[in-house]
Structure 1
Amino acid sequence: MALPDANCMILTWTQHGAESSASSPRGMSVIRRLTTIFYADVPGYRRLTGVDEVGTHQRVMAMLDDVTARISAAGGTFLRYAGGAVLATFPSVVMAVDIAAEIQNALADGNAARVPDDRVSIRIGINLGDVIKDRGEVYGDGVNLAARLEAAATPGGVYLSAAADDRVAGKAMVTFTDGGEQELKNIERPVRIFHWAPSEQLPDMAHSAPALPDKPSIAILAFNNMSGDPEQEYFADGVTEDIITELSKYRSIFVIARNSSFAYKGHAVDIKQIGQELGVRHVLEGSVRKSAQRVRVTAQLIEAANGNHLLAERYDRTLVDVFELQDEITETIVATIQPEPEVAERERARRKSPENLTAWDHYQCGMWHSYRAKPDDTALAESCFHDALAVDDRYATAHAGLGYCAFQRTLYYAENESLDDRATLLDRAISHVRTAVEIDDRDPFGQFVLGRLYALRGDFDVAEERLRRAIELNPNFALAYHGLGYTLTLSGREEEAASLFERAPRFSPADQYHWGIYSMASFNQVPLGNHEAAVEYARKGVRDMPNIFWARVHLISALSKLGRDDEARRAADEILKVLREFTTAMIDRAIVIKNPEVRERYLASLHKAVLPA
């Protein structure tokens, strides 16, 4: 929204004895106060109303009602609304900052239950400055600065002026980071700002700029679908994924995982920026055009630092040659960035392709659905994998795909399975994946899925062996590092696991599955006594994937252990809004913790928050 002085939420704090009065040019008395000004507004309000005017208005008004209720409950005085903003006063700088943090944390938790396009957030700017009080309102430069701080803040964040930060340092419930001096619109001098947001309380695994590895490194971006048919999107994705998979088997090359590379899909890309964000020297981009029984693939290998094209190739093939085409592209990349790979590496990277292209087509459709991590998509993925096996019953990765769907259903959607169903599902899934490994024991995906399934069954030694084998076959396999960390945490080796949660994101800095790493890192931190860290990791997991309950559960546990019972109960209420039938019995059957004392303490922390048994 625009930023006229009136369109704001302002919380003011009056220092006793700091009020003064003066005469205006018209002879009227003007009251001045040293006041904490709290300015909040809804970013993108007009855009949101343009998409869904009634729905957006209702959500914004409900949010603002909650905000004003919190202000009143904490001793504030509401003054007025102005569009998507509120004006109020407050009796203390520290209390104003604490209520800002409470509001933003509550909004972050509430937004986590919505898809990104439906989320409504606010930005908050807080300044301690001189204001004019007149007719129940406040005016002046102090208000203007708070407004500009809000405009500079990130959605969901809080910006403080230096004067405000001086008053709350060491006293508020959150810690602000010095953001240095910034130029703010219509403010004459640079302003030193301090910032905080729920997502800033721990270093974000996804956003730190990683250093370049000490060997050739590459990110392979999702190839563009040029077929003119959106239904062929999975085919272009499949070609890209196969190239990533085959290239990842070369130990001498650092390859960014699929999920981080695909994070840039559909966006205009700056190759230099991608190189910096993912920490790689080379980027491959390309396109796929499928027409009748022919396919055309273009590929450009680019040096990220300077944009130089190291190769640009166009491949025209029949569809039956698609696997040879992918191998050819892989070999060309290897020869360009690593001229002399070892013979053993070439042997390790050699693919075992399905006998039939149609089977591969069904398999890629299944993987496309499984990446969406939703119950309906998991069911569609299972159907696709069964179709692949109906065409080629020796297709190893399709067997592994069925196992991965069972893993998702057992761990992510545990509310849908009884204890007997879970055991039957795991047995059937393990049978499928053992078949996959018997067909192709060099496929890292099969080893990975088998390890995760054995961990769910509590066979931690076998799980660890399989996951380490997956990493041996694909040293760039980010999810395998995460899975191993999960397994070691459940088996009581939390400190060893913690290092794996730190390591996994390097292989996939922009991964859509970081919510899983955040969630399990939260659980990992509790036995180590790092409860504050556990809370922050859990909040990140909730933010990134609201549909999966695990991060919410770990948040409740960590808050309970910190004695923050009111927050834990609110978090419990939120999980029951998302999953009405949720009970701790679901957790008891879905997670296998080797140490019974750790298990009992964990479940007790959930009962403490009044979660139903």
Structure 2
Amino acid sequence: MQELALRLLGPLRVSRGGAPLKLPASRKFRALLAYLTVARGAVAREKLCDLLWEGPSDPRGELRWCLSRLRSVLDTHGRSRVIAVDDQISLDLDGCDVDALLLLETARGGVDGLGLQELLTIASRCDGDFLEGIGIRNCAAFEHWLGGRRSEFRSYQLDIAAEIGRRTPVGSVDGLPAARRWIDLAGLDTGANIRFLSELLHRRMVDECNRHLDMAARLFADEGLDFAPVRDAWEQLRHAAAQPTQVAVSERVREPAQSIHPAASRRASVAIMPFRELGAGPEMRRDLGSAVAHDIISRLARLRSLFVIARGSVFAVAEERLGSQDIGRRLGVDYVATGFMEQHDRGVCVTVEVAEAATARIIWTAQFEARSAERLAILDEIGDGIVSSIAAEIENEERNRAILKPPDSLDAWEAYHRGLWHMYRFTPDENARAAEFFHLSTRLDPTFSRAHAGLSFTHWQRAFQRWSDRDAETRNALKAAGQSLLIDDQNPAAHWSMGRALWLSGDHDEAVRELEQSVHLSPNFALGHYALSFVHSQSGDPAAAIASSDHSRLLSPCDPLLFGMLGTRALALVSLGAFEEAAQWGVKAAARPNAHVHIVAIAALCLALAGRIAEARNYVTRIRRQNPGYRIDNFLDTFRFAPDITARYRNAAALIGLT
């Protein structure tokens, strides 16, 4: 038994040697304990005062009182756990049993490598809402932090519950509790509903199945979500139970596209068909090719940018060996992704293509090489590239289609993609035009989370590029990002937009947390990895910045923001003192066709730091053409560098006339 145990999930409790400790009734004491427990390192007193005390005339005095109470609870004669160094406060929790930290550690390590019993133990110890029942009136900053943390921990709890639900055999003693826990946490998740129905049907609880179907259908309809995949899977389960040797294809699969995609919430839809194994027997086709397709479906769905047809419907239709147009009509989708796999001495070659369903026109095809024939190894090596490429190519096709349509004929989805087309031009006029289309998209569908995230990005650009008042645009970026999160806090783009907005407001730690949540929700979300690189490249961890930059480019090698992915790598290398390498990456960034003036400045300054003065001055000439009044202060006011790095850039600017 640990000496000290903290329970932050559910009602807050602290115990020593198994005996509960009496805690002060103060909500701010409890909030301070929780905040310091999950904080990354020491926290400045000023930040704690701003977080918890908006009204009192002496916030530092109240903070001292709370810290003294913390010491009385946590410290012992042999050990001080409340650490105050200069103006920084931290907790020493080494050797303590803390449920929230256990959940965070599990999330960072991933659930794939844990056994089922380990997951069950973690789930039982990490149950309940973070700081359940605690809220502080008139403390907007704390309430925002608490809301974000609660959402984050719920997401981690859901990941564990979903993994337990998938691994627990249907019909086992633990099967129904596992399925019920998953559905309780994710009532609108297609997989959770199908797993729950499977469990009920196995127990011949048909009436309960029908009641659940009716209730779930209403919930999905209220949220504007497509319930057809759940009902399709139910039909297949019911028919399979009655006729085990037959594969039944639900008639509902044959419904036209308009019944599946309501106009207000339409997204481009795609069916990922099982991959064919060339030269392998039927058993191998069902195993490896189907497994890879299933994983791609799961990863693509987590991006939440496309409507991805559920595995049950896709695999049932695959039995009929139809062409792309017939699959499109049968499933009511816009795009069909197919592929085949060839085994050779060095591993597996996977060929993937995406076709427009209506015309069977191939919009993208590529080959990927894996050095192993094992499912997990294949996905580790090439899964990210396949998923990100499919998403990027379809979204690019949708943008190009939207730009050709008259503005007054656009629906919410098309208006959003029209906004993206203008946004990626990176000029003040195009950015304003993008904002107009994002506003149109939110009016046509107020529940479209990504449109609000796009709107936040346009405010971010105005602030970052100084096209408008930075403080006002930062507030607008935060507001739009908050609306995106309110609509769908499981959308990685929502957390991405909030993370960038928080960086603008100067909150580095919270920005990193939101951006890490975006890539936790979808490891294939390239912009999330890029934004993490952007933040770390200035005042965070330069090695982490390089890793995130590399990963973002691996996921999206032709991204419209590729200049930024390259530029942040250059900034990180400057922090590490690798000036020559930084210059090489800065030049690559400035070579991108849509690189803005700050990117060109990165190239000029990195070249100067590397001693390549003549080349650097050529880039200064280019800067003058883009913005005649641009100086080093414009560059340094835009980014957030540590003082020693700022001095490096000022010295470099003096060498090339950019002062």
Report TM bin, short chain: 0.3 to 0.5
Which protein has greater RCO, CA pairs closer than 8 Å, 6+ apart?
A: 1
Structure that is richer in strand per residue: 1
User: TM-score, length-normalised on structure 2?
Assistant: 0.41
Report the TM-score, using the length of structure 1 for normalisation: 0.44
Q: Greater helix share, 1 or 2?
A: 2
